[in-house]
Structure 1
Amino acid sequence: MIKFFRKIRQNLLSENKFSKYLLYAIGEIILVVIGILIALQINNWNEQKKTNILQVEALKEVVSDLQDDFFSLKNDIGLNLRGLNSASIIRTVLDSNQAYHDSLAIHFGNLDFNTTYTLKTSGFDNLKNLGFQIITNDIIRKSITDLYASEYSFLKEREELAEQRTYEYFSPLYIPYFKSIKSVKGTFGTLQTYTPMDFESMKSDQNFDLLLDYIIIVKEDNLYSINSAIRNLKQTHSLINDYLKTISSDYNNATIL
């Protein structure tokens, strides 16, 4: 091809057709420029394709993490509700001057327990390593960073506060009311049973009543924090799901309850 163009140039010059040669030279330059532009465009397409693949895989990993986090946090909600239910049963028994029965030992044990939130961040960490700029949708990018950097961070801070309030304040004052603490296997795992030292005196003990109020507040605060995180988690999950369906033809919609 190069020899062909060189031959044309030589013929034009040998025939003293300078004006035609000039037009030919300009045309040849234009062809070279077009070729370069086409090559650059192909390269850009290839790079964009690679970026899209990375983006889809990274977002799929985030979706998977969010699904696991959702079910983990739903379990934490159940544990806090179990504690609140136990507090309600204990208070009802004490206020109505009922006799002690062995099932109360499990309810007493449920109060001295605080949930630990197990959140997966491998997908988010991978995104950080790849660079958030691979996510071409600004809304998706902001939703992900807000969830992990703000909501999850706040949730872990609330977890630390609840743990401090439970184990540094509540437990030292609560445990002396019991003569024995044992572990028993239940339907949903190991449970703690707390057997009161003097059940009858609990009925008129204002300090114990205040401890009940205190642990109820701790568990209600836990529920508020978890529900807030779940709302934002579901919103981010939904946004990513919808986005992946538009950019990945083979993406199967991942749903959470």
Structure 2
Amino acid sequence: MIKFFRKIRQQLLAENRFRKYLLYAIGEIALVMIGILLAFQVNNWQAKRTRATKELSYLKDIKSNLSDDIKAIDRVVEFNKTKSLLADSMFYTLDRYSDPEIYMPKIIRYMYTLTVYDVFEPNRIAFDNMVAAENVDLITNGNLRSLLSQYYKKEFNTTTQENVKQRARQLGDYVAIAAFNKQSIKSLVNYNSSLRDISEVEIHKDSKVYAYLFSMLMTTQSHTEILMETHKDIEELIELINQQIE
């Protein structure tokens, strides 16, 4: 093609047709410029397509992680409800019965759940991968990008969730000391200890047991409220992602 254009130029010059040569040269330059612009547009289109493909991939992965978060929150909330019901049952049992031989077997069953905890940890794999690759700007929706950043900046293992752990341990440690007796050790590990007899246990009169139990219950309920708010935030994020994907 280049040889073809060169031959035309040489022919025009040989025939001394300078005006036509000039017009031809201008036309050739215009064709070259159009070709460059078209190539630039194609490259630009390909770059945009690549960015859009990456954005879609990241958003789908983040959406999958957020769906995992909703399942995790549902699991923790369900556990907290069970724990709160058992705390109410323990209050009722201690208030209704004064005989430790009656209430202690019930309390021991309650304590298996009351002294453990379940907390929420977001699945941040997709978002962290995007941040590590410095591709956060691939998310073209500024509002979505901002809300995702805010969500993943939250520290879920501080304040309330840490209090949930502490209150469970606190209750368990105190009740273990205040309520353990010869019969309970015998039933748990089949060991004849020199501990006091079950008839001497008086945790139904122990104000600390009530205080620790109440504190644990309030913290658990606060934890549930925070998780439910987080649940709503995640649903909004998923809706925004769906809109962006569509």
How far off is 1:11 after superposition? 2.3
In the superposition, relative to structure 1, how do residues 199 and 54 fare at CA in structure 2: closer, same or farther (>3 Å)?
Answer: farther
Matched, 1:52 2:56: no
CA distance, structure 2, for counterparts of residue 55 and residue 198 of structure 1: 68
How far off is 1:66 after superposition? 1.2
CA distance, structure 1, for counterparts of residue 54 and residue 5 of structure 2: 43
**Contact 2:13–2:21 (8 Å) recurs in 1:** yes
CA distance, structure 1, for counterparts of residue 118 and residue 239 of structure 2: 26
2:111 alignment partner AA: F
**Which residues of structure 1 form unaligned runs of 5+?**
184-195, 247-257
Partner of 1:109: 112
Name the larger-Rg structure.
Answer: 2
List aligned pairs for 1:206-225, cutoff 5 A. Answer: 206-225=207-226
After superposition, the C-alpha distances for 1:197-255 in whole angstroms (9 at most, x for unaligned) are 569723222221111211112211211221122111111112112221x2xxxxxxxxx
1:59 alignment partner AA: L
Partner of 1:254: none
CA distance, structure 1, for counterparts of residue 19 and residue 200 of structure 2: 113
How far off is 1:166 after superposition? 3.4
Which residue of the other structure, out of 123, 127, 138, is the alignment partner of 1:124?
127
**Contact 2:171–2:209 (8 Å) recurs in 1:** no
Secondary structure at the residue paired with 1:114?
coil
How far off is 1:109 after superposition? 2.6
**Which residues of structure 2 form unaligned runs of 5+?**
189-196
CA distance, structure 2, for counterparts of residue 174 and residue 240 of structure 1: 48
Judging by fraction of residues, say which structure has more strand.
1
CA distance, structure 2, for counterparts of residue 116 and residue 199 of structure 1: 36
How far off is 1:143 after superposition? 2.1
Deviates more, 1:28-37 or 1:94-103: 94-103
Partner of 2:23: 23
Matched, 1:9 2:12: no
Query: Normalising to structure 2: TM-score of the pair?
Result: 0.82
How far off is 1:77 after superposition? 0.5
What RMSD, in angstroms, separates the aligned Cα atoms of the two structures?
Answer: 2.5
CA distance, structure 2, for counterparts of residue 124 and residue 197 of structure 1: 55
Partner of 1:134: 138
Judging by fraction of residues, say which structure has more helix.
2
Q: How many residues end up aligned between the 2 structures?
A: 229
2:78 alignment partner AA: G
Partner of 2:174: 173
**Contact 1:76–1:115 (8 Å) recurs in 2:** yes
CA distance, structure 2, for counterparts of residue 198 and residue 25 of structure 1: 112
Partner of 1:159: 161
Partner of 1:242: 243
After superposition, the C-alpha distances for 1:56-112 in whole angstroms (9 at most, x for unaligned) are 122111111111111111110111111111111111222234752744432233221
Deviates more, 1:157-166 or 1:19-28: 157-166
2:162 alignment partner AA: E
**Contact 2:94–2:204 (8 Å) recurs in 1:** yes
2:58 alignment partner AA: A
Secondary structure at the residue paired with 1:203?
helix
